[in-house]
Structure formats: structure tokens, C-alpha cells
Structure 1
């Protein structure tokens, strides 16, 4: 299990459990997280497979979240609590959530 904040190289997994201030949900499929710099602040971009409309709304309306990433059934990264900085949809339907500590 990694204790460090995600760096600039993408990290892949096959499931993630996201807990927001109002809901908790699990996404399965291709999950990617990557450290990025936004406005001089270290952030993580979490790219999720296309979400159903309610999951998307829950994330878009959240003010904070944390996530537990897994690969092949093994948990390998528990995030700290993150403030939601941005949510967006990619052209392929993926949902991207950007957060910072």
C-alpha cells in the first residue's frame, strides 16, 4: 500500500470506492489517478469510467471526497480527505474529479 500522494505518472487500478460528504459509491473499470499542478497547488486527478447520472451528480455537488483504490481486489491507495476543485466529462464519457488536500 502506498502512503505517498500520487505523483505525475499515472497510476492504474480496476476499482475505487469514493466517499463524499453526502454519499459513498464504488466505480469499477479502468481507473487512473495522477498528480497534477493546478494554480500552483498539488492536486490529484481521478479519472473514472462513465458514471451513471446520480453518481455524477453526487460527485459534482460534493465539496470534499476521499477514495480507496484497488487493483485485483487488493487495496493499494487510501487517499487523504480532498477538496473538490473540478469535475468534468471527457469526450469518451469518463468522469474526471480533481481534488487537493
Structure 2
């Protein structure tokens, strides 16, 4: 699948692979491509997850994910280099990466 565009994709489940570990997170999940300073990034917005999963994501250097809605695969990312993480006002975790 191609890199996501600027139109957000909304899913209910995401499987994130960090090194050899895969975690599945459910809830309201958004994936969106963004352009900053001429470079493409993907922002993955996750519900406030288990604290250990959150730390694993915040400390990761690389990750890959698959976004699902109703059991149907919406997007499978290429391997991404973690560019940053931050929290939204409602506590959601935003993970930013680039190919």
C-alpha cells in the first residue's frame, strides 16, 4: 500500500511491530500523512494505552504498523524511523515516523 495521504484514515485496531515484538491496541486510532519542511511523515494517533506499551513506543527507534477497521486491513506501513512522540490534550499518544 502506498504512503498515506493527508486525509486521515480511522481504524479500531492497530498492530505495531517494534523489533521482534508486536503489540495490538484497540480503540479510536487515526493514521495520517503529513508534510513538514518538504519531508513526508506519518502520524499514528493512539488511545492512551497500557503504560508499558506506551514506553516501548516512546523509546523505539523503528516501528511498523498495520491499521484495521472491522477486521479489514486499511493500511500496512513500511518500516518507519521514529521521529517523535507527543501527547494530545485528551491523553492520546501521537507517534510520528518516516520511511
Structure 1 length normalisation: TM-score? 0.92
Aligned to 1:73: 71
Structure 1, unaligned stretches of length 5 or more?
none
Partner of 2:55, secondary structure, is: helix
> Which of 44, 53, 56 is residue 51 of structure 2 equivalent to?
53
Structure 2, unaligned stretches of length 5 or more?
none
Give the C-alpha shift of residue 22 in structure 1: 5.3
The CA distance in 1 between the partners of 2:36 and 2:80, in whole Å, is 14
> Which of 62, 69, 74 is residue 60 of structure 2 equivalent to?
62
User: Segments of 4+ in structure 1 off by > 3 A?
Assistant: none
The aligned length equals: 99
> Which of 31, 46, 49 is residue 33 of structure 1 equivalent to?
31
Contact 1:82 1:99 in 2 (8 A): yes
Aligned to 1:11: 9
